[in-house]
């Protein structure tokens, strides 16, 4: 049986549902080109700020026994760099390109979004409401009133379909509250769940030390540690959102986890820690494993099982 991994959503046509998580392998043109040249179905830029940022002091990423910890602090080349990349990008012949925006203030976000609006490019914008690694900066996504205010201002200046990157939520009340906010904005067409689980602590027993420098060793957790949390967020937002897509992110290292994300409701799936550790070759491996698993289970398309998680 032939398996079709393609997915079409919001005018975007992907050969398969896999792409990089924003933050991994997407800071420079060279990295973005490497993802574009891989078996990924799309690519997304690093979350950009108004001006270039070096980010937090090194070391700011470490492998952990069941994943990773990072406190990058939004190192990026500044939004103009990614806008120029998007302008030069082959949108006709190339894979779909997403641009992630993460201003240090609402004003910064509005200025960047206005620039992307005026450029009128066929790329989808994702607004990051969830960076957990900026010392002294709270995650907007955990303040529902502030999220509503930000989105109200965003839709005044940005009129095209867009998405948001969300932090992980852990309480049914919070799922419902955030879904209610998001459902108020018809042009908000997708959410990416989840960003890393913020402010974890990994300790190296031999040296009796933290493993990253910023914030006294606190950082965002990714990899196997976050898979159940990511799946819960995907499933709950898939259930609660009206006419919006959910992009799954968290704990994907093989076709099995990609399948689980789609089963929970994900339209497409991002790869973070695994991409960081393995490089862009991981996309072909995960794609082939997903296809083999679908064949084994008798599914011909992603729609055959998307969102069809059974409950007891």
Catalytic residue among 26, 48, 123, 131: 131
- The answer to the question of whether 76 is labelled as a binding residue is no
Q: Is the dihedral of CA 248, 254, 259, 260 positive or negative?
A: negative
- The answer to the question of whether 199 is labelled as a binding residue is no
- The answer to the question of whether 71 is labelled as a binding residue is yes
| Residue of 27, 19, 162, 23 lying closest to 81 (CA atoms) | 27
Judge whether 247 and 193 are in contact, CB under 8 Å: yes
- The answer to the question of whether 137 is labelled as a binding residue is no
- The answer to the question of whether 70 is labelled as a binding residue is yes
- The answer to the question of whether 217 is labelled as a binding residue is no
- The answer to the question of whether 72 is labelled as a binding residue is yes
263: CB partners within 8 A, 6+ apart: 305, 306, 307, 308, 309
- The answer to the question of whether 195 is labelled as a binding residue is yes
- The answer to the question of whether 13 is labelled as a binding residue is no
Strand partners, 166: 193
- Report the interhelical angle of 172-183 vs 144-157 (nearest 10°): 20
- The answer to the question of whether 147 is labelled as a binding residue is no
Give the integer Cα–Cα distance in Å for 110 and 232: 31
Judged by DSSP in three states, 24 sits in coil
- The answer to the question of whether 46 is labelled as a binding residue is yes
Strand partners, 204: 209
Rounded to the nearest 5 degrees, what angle is found at the Cα of 219, between the Cα atoms of 217 and 224? 120
Q: How far is CA 107 from the centre of its chain?
A: 23
Give the integer Cα–Cα distance in Å for 116 and 160: 10
Which DSSP symbol is given to 142? G
Give the integer Cα–Cα distance in Å for 167 and 194: 5
| Residue of 293, 258, 276 lying closest to 7 (CA atoms) | 258
- The answer to the question of whether 148 is labelled as a binding residue is no
Give the integer Cα–Cα distance in Å for 32 and 43: 7
- The answer to the question of whether 272 is labelled as a binding residue is yes
The verdict on whether 131 is a catalytic residue reads yes
- The answer to the question of whether 16 is labelled as a binding residue is no
- The answer to the question of whether 223 is labelled as a binding residue is yes
Annotated binding site for substrate: 46, 70-74, 128, 195-196
Catalytic residue numbers, as ranges:
131
Annotated binding site for FMN: 22, 46-47, 128, 165, 194, 223, 250-251, 272-273
Annotated binding site: 22, 46-47, 70-74, 128, 165, 194-196, 223, 250-251, 272-273
């Amino acid at each position: 049986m032939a398996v079709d991994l393609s997915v079409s959503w919001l005018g975007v046509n992907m050969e398969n549902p896999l792409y990089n998580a924003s933050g991994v392998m997407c800071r420079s043109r060279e990295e973005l080109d490497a993802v574009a040249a891989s078996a990924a179905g799309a690519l997304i830029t690093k979350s950009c700020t108004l001006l270039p940022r070096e980010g937090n002091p090194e070391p700011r990423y470490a492998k952990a026994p069941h994943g990773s910890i990072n406190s990058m602090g939004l190192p990026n080349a500044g939004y103009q760099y990614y806008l120029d990349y998007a302008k030069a990008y082959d949108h006709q012949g190339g894979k779909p390109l997403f641009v992630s925006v993460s201003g240090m203030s609402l004003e910064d976000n509005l200025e960047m979004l206005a620039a992307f609006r005026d450029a009128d490019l066929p790329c989808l914008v994702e607004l990051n409401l969830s960076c957990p690694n900026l010392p002294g900066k709270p995650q907007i996504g955990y303040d529902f009133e502030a999220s509503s205010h930000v989105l109200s201002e965003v839709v005044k200046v940005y009129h095209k379909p867009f998405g948001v990157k969300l932090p992980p939520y852990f309480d049914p009340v919070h799922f419902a509250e955030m879904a209610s906010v998001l459902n108020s904005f018809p042009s908000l067409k997708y959410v990416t769940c989840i960003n890393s689980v913020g402010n974890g602590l990994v300790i190296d027993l031999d040296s009796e030390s933290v493993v990253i420098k910023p914030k006294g060793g606190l950082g965002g957790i990714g990899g196997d540690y976050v898979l159940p949390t990511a799946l819960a967020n995907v499933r709950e937002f898939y259930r609660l959102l009206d006419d919006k897509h959910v992009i799954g992110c968290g704990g994907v290292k093989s076709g099995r986890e990609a399948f689980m994300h789609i089963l929970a409701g994900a339209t497409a799936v991002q790869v973070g820690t695994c991409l960081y550790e393995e490089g862009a070759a991981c996309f072909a491996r995960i794609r082939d494993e997903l296809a083999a698993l679908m064949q084994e289970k008798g599914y011909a398309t992603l729609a055959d099982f998307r969102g069809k998680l059974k409950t007891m």
